[in-house]
Amino acid sequence: MKSFWKAKNVFVTGATGFFGSYLTRELVNLEAHVTVLVRDTRRKSNLYRGEVYTKINIIEGSLGDLALIERALDEHKIDTVFHLAAQAIAGEAHRNPLSTFHANILGTWNILEACRRNPNVNRIIVTSSDKAYGAHLTLPYDENMPLQGKHPYDVSKSCADLIAQTYYYTYRLPVCIARCGNLFGGGDLNFSRIIPGTIRSIYNHRTPVIRSDGTLLRDYLFVEDAARAYLLLAEKMEALNLAGEAFNFSSESRLTVLDLTKKILKMMNCTLEPVILNEEKKEIKHQYLSIEKARKILGWKPVYSFDEGLENTINWYKGYFAKTENIGVDLNEEKAPY
């Protein structure tokens, strides 16, 4: 793996995000020459922990600026692009659909169009999601199922996914699509998400809150396994002629939101009982992925079991909170997304 990435010129969007910071750090460790596009300087991001950010090229700008993206790809002689940037919170998408469509859809076609115009780009990985599939009666999702999102966030991922496919089928752009389950791990500071939100509530001796009825079934993937999956897919694209293909990545650990919350409570030795609000009515009931294609073609499987990843995650937050002076928040801010 290291020999493949050493001195390779890589462009990452969304590097200050939860997943993007992990992928960027891994690329730096593999001695790639990394350039990132950053819209806002987020000093709390994992990207700025340690010295990783001192070893990368940082370009400040927006996914809406096609000329800027083209210049960055050209000036830094980019060979590989990881497009991770997105508005990634379903609740925010519901409240502000236009900004979500702008970031997730227009941002994707700008990246792909800039790559199409640049002959040096040899591989592109576009981040999609299990949400792109929308609701299906038959589960688990496999890569041949239609993309039929209905709610704003789901639709934005369906559209971005289809646009990536368009650029391959129409222009033969060397792009692959990654569809992951819910990513988790240390460093996710969006506490509206179920895992970090629940951990913080318990650490603060507050009752965890579940917004749904607790029966929603979801798929989860430890963030370090996701980073390895993206790197492996990019490495094997050319050799295995994978351009145009989509791959699911998951730990195949399927838990209801209530069971997940109870598991965190148990691992943190907490006897509190979660409060179930049963307020959320616009969520897909069950979503989970098959990784058979990734297993067969890429030889990929997660390194960490779900419990191992969750234990690592809890330990990260305990250390983070111990160093943070003020972690108290209003209870309403601690509602989990499900």
Across the beta sheet with 182-184, the strand order is: 182-184, 217-222, 253-256
Check if the beta carbon of residue 153 is closer than 8 Å to that of residue 93: yes
The string over 166-202, giving b where at least 16 C-beta atoms fall within 10 Å of a residue's C-beta and e elsewhere, is ebbeeeebbbbbbbbbbbbbbbbeebbbbbbbbbbbb
Count of alpha carbons within 13 Å of 209, Cβ hemisphere only? 16
Residues pairing with 81 in the sheet: 11, 124
CA 50 to each of CA 25, 26, 43, 46: distance values in angstroms, whole numbers, following the listed order? 10, 13, 12, 8
Name the amino acid, one letter, at 30. Answer: L
Residues pairing with 34 in the sheet: 10
To the query of whether residue 153 is one of the catalytic residues in this protein, the response is: yes
CA distance 314 to 147: 34
DSSP code of 148? B
Closest CA to 130 of 120, 122, 138, 141: 141
Q: Give the DSSP H or E segment for 47.
A: none
Question: What is the distance of C-alpha 33 from the center of its chain?
Answer: 22
- Angle of CA points 76, 245, 181, to nearest 5°: 90
Q: Give the DSSP H or E segment for 83.
A: strand 80-83
CA distance 270 to 266: 6
Determine which one of 53, 153, 230, 338 is catalytic: 153
**Catalytic residue positions, numbered:** 153
